[in-house]
Amino acid sequence: MTDSTASGSHSSHSVEKVDQSAHRKRRIWPWVLGALAFALIISFAMRRGGDPPQSARPAGQGGARGVAGPVTVNVVTAKQGDLGVYLSAIGTVTPVYTSSITSQVSGLISAVHYHESQFVRKGDSLIEIDPRPFEAQLKQAEGTLEKDTHILEQSRMDLDRYRKAWSRNAIAKQVLDDQEKVALQNEGTVKNDQGVVDFDRVQLGYCHIVAPYDGKVGLRLVDPGNVVQANSTTPLVVLTQMQPITVVFTIAEDYLGEIQSHMQKNPLAVDVYDRAQLTKIASGRLIAIDNQIDTTTGTVRLRAQFDNRKNELFPNQFVNTRLLVNTLHNSTLIPTAAIQHNGAAAFVYVIQDNVAHLQNIKPGAEDSGITAVEGITAGQVLANSSFEKLRDKAAVKIATAPVPVPTGTGPPGPAQANSRKTSP
C-alpha cells in the first residue's frame, strides 16, 4: 500500500515537470520569431539607405553619395586657330667643326698667343715653334738650288757651242749628244733642289700654327719651353666652331616619310629647350637627314643648324628638341585639361543653359596644353573643373572665381584620373 502510494505521487510530479517545460518553450518561440523579423527589417532599411539612386551618383564614383544642388565649374571656350604638329626628341649639341691641333714638326715652343676660352678668327696665330732650325735648312736648300741652277745654265751654254761646232763639222756627233744629256741631267738636279726648297718652306710654315676657322679655344694644354714631337697624338690646342652650331637628334623611322615630304617644300623649324623643357634656348632649321636607319633602334639621325649668336648652345650639351613637322589650320582648339576619358573614348562636358551635356570627341594633335579636337565647334563653352561631380544633364553653376582642385579626397575616379591624357 505504501509503495503504490509513493509511485503514484512520483508519476504526478513527473507529469507536472513535463507540462511546465512545454509551457516555457511555447512562451520563448514568439520572442525568437519577433527578433528575426526585427533583424530583417533593420537589414532592409540599411540597404535602402546606403544605396542612393543611380541618378544621384557623380560621374566616375559609383559608390559615392550624390551632391545636392548645381555643380560649380570653371569654363573655357573652344576656339578656332592653327596648331603645330611637333616631334620631340633628346638631342646633343654638335659643332660643325672640332679640331684637335697637333704639331707637324718637332721643336721647342717659343710662344703661346691665345688665352683660354678665347674666341679667335680664322688665321689668328695660336702657337709658335722655334723656327730657326727650319730657317737654316731652307737657306741651305736655297743655296744648293742656286748652285745647281748656275751649273744648268753653264751646261746649256756649252750645248749651244757644241751645236755650232758640229754644224761646221768641227766635233763629232757623239760629243754633241753627250752634252745634250748633261744639260738634261742638270735640269733634273735643279727640279730636285726646288722640291727640297719647297718642302723646307712648308716645314717652316708649320712652326707658325694658326686657327683654321673661327671658333673658341679650350684650356691651355702647352706652355712656352715645351718640346713637341711631329705627328704626336697629344694636341697643342682644341678649337671648336661655335657659330653656327648644330644639334643631332633621332626620330622613329615611322615619321621619316612625313618629314621628307614637308622638307622638300619648306625648311622645317626646330626649337631646342633645356632639360626641364621649360625654357626655350634657340630656334633653327633642319638641314640634313642621315642616309641610313639604325636597325637596332629603328631610328634615324637628323641634324638641325642654329646661328647661336649669343652662344646659348654649348658643344656636347644635352637638349630637348621639338621639330615642327606640320601646321594644322582652322582647327577647333580646347585646353587638354578639359578632355575626359572613359577607356578608349574621349569626351567633354558642353555647358548650355546651365546644364552639362556629355559630348564625345576625337582628340588630335596636342601642343603646350592645347589639343585640336573633332566633335565640337568653336564657340562652345566647356567645363574645365569639378569633373568628379559632373554627370550628363547635371545642373551647373559657372564660377566667377577659379574652382580649386580637391586634394586629399582619395584616389580619383576613372574620368578624373585620365583627364590629362591625350591621344598620340
Given this model, what pLDDT does residue 178 score? Answer: 93
Given this model, what pLDDT does residue 19 score? Answer: 52
Given this model, what pLDDT does residue 334 score? Answer: 94
Q: What is the 8-class DSSP label of residue 408?
A: S
Tell me the C-alpha distance between 248 and 331, whole Å: 32
Task: Quote helix, strand, coil % in the chain, to nearest 5.
Answer: 35, 35, 35
CA 88 to the chain's CA centroid = 6
Given this model, what pLDDT does residue 42 score? Answer: 72
- The C-alpha cell that represents 315 in the structure block: 658643344
- What is residue 380's three-state secondary structure? coil
Tell me the C-alpha distance between 15 and 274, whole Å: 102
Residues with Cβ within 8 Å of 103's Cβ and at least 6 positions away in sequence, in order, are 129, 206, 209, 228, 229, 230, 231, 232, 236
Q: Flag residues of the chain having pLDDT under 50.
A: 1-15, 17-18, 49-67, 408-424
Given this model, what pLDDT does residue 421 score? Answer: 35
- The C-alpha cell that represents 360 in the structure block: 564625345
pLDDT single digits (tens) 314-329: 999 999 999 999 888 9
Percent of the chain at pLDDT exceeding 90: 66
Q: What is the pTM of this model?
A: 0.65
Name the residue among 205, 105, 193, 188 with its Cα closest to residue 141: 193
pLDDT single digits (tens) 239-262: 999 999 999 999 999 999 989 988
Given this model, what pLDDT does residue 414 score? Answer: 34
pLDDT single digits (tens) 270-303: 999 998 888 999 999 999 999 999 999 999 999 9
Name the residue among 296, 308, 304, 336 with its Cα closest to residue 320: 304
Given this model, what pLDDT does residue 62 score? Answer: 40
Given this model, what pLDDT does residue 215 score? Answer: 96
Given this model, what pLDDT does residue 20 score? Answer: 54
Q: Does residue 315 have a cis peptide bond before it, meaning omega lies within 30 degrees of 0?
A: no
